[in-house]
Amino acid sequence: MSHIQLFSYPTSPYAQKVGCYLKFKKLDFKFIGVNPLTNDQIKFTRQRQVPVMQIGDQWRKESSELGIWLDEVYPDNPMLPDNADQRERILEIDKWVSESLIPSMFRGACEWQNTFNSITNGWKLSNAVSDATPLPGYVRLIWPFGVKKAPFIVNMVKQLDLTETMDDMLHRLQNEFVGHLEGGEFLGGQSAPSLADLSAFPIVVNAYMMGMRTNGFVLDKPEVNAWAKRVARYLPDNPLLVPDKFLKRRLLS
């Protein structure tokens, strides 16, 4: 058994953050699919939230905390700068990823701009979840409609300014992203990827790589695209938690 275990559905953006931390640090880990209906695999935690990471006999949750924990236990290939101000800036950008970028992505699952696209995207996601923990056919079929009503998604989306159009939201996120680069190669103006880049990367590339149909990607902004290509050099070809068979596009093609 691997020493590090990551428990989640393979499609959870918060788990994808942790997947990129582990891959960047070149740590061997075992991904354990969690059944989103029963949560059987994380019963030992007595709570429902993923991702959960276990190192040896200790487990913790909260994606950002898991990144900090990894840096403490495995100091090679650090993700946080030593300088206190820079570290604080990186954690602030990571918070923006968790509290702004990720919820905005979930908005698309609740607010359908194009019904056909949203349903086919939902089916792609349910097939990926089912590949890790087999789900009954009818659950996969109704998945796009169920996600629209999932309490944790509805609550997350409620925090957003829903008077802003989806297009305006996308453009704002693209501009905020470029602002966070602070004119540097990586987020926070850093010269090497940090926890903030590894948090943002899977969120920005996931829909593109999985061949989702959308009106636009954050990645469409040339500065974000160039950044993603720079981060990709530090990660394997498949930076996500879904197997290669679910990837329809490569970042560098």
Residues that bind ligand GSH (CB under 6 A): 12-14, 48-51, 62-64, 98, 152
Least CB distance to ligand GSH at residue 239 (A): 17
C-alpha pair distances (Å), 12 with each of 44, 158, 245: 20, 19, 18
Q: How many helices (H) and strands (E) does the chain have?
A: 10, 4
**How many CB atoms sit inside 10 A of residue 103's CB?**
17
Least CB distance to ligand GSH at residue 155 (A): 9
Shorter beta-carbon distance to ligand GSH: residue 36 or 188: 36
What is the distance, to the nearest Å, from the Cα of residue 19 to the centroid of all Cα atoms in its chain?
8
Shorter beta-carbon distance to ligand GSH: residue 105 or 219: 105
Least CB distance to ligand GSH at residue 225 (A): 25
Least CB distance to ligand GSH at residue 118 (A): 18
CA distance 9 to 127: 11
C-alpha pair distances (Å), 171 with each of 135, 179, 196, 215: 36, 12, 20, 12
Encoded tokens for 13: 């953006």
Encoded tokens for 106: 């979930």
Shorter beta-carbon distance to ligand GSH: residue 199 or 221: 199
**How many CB atoms sit inside 10 A of residue 166's CB?**
16
Least CB distance to ligand GSH at residue 191 (A): 27
Shorter beta-carbon distance to ligand GSH: residue 174 or 199: 199
Least CB distance to ligand GSH at residue 12 (A): 4
Q: Are strands 52-55 and 4-8 parallel, antiparallel or unpaired?
A: antiparallel
Shorter beta-carbon distance to ligand GSH: residue 62 or 220: 62
Shorter beta-carbon distance to ligand GSH: residue 50 or 173: 50
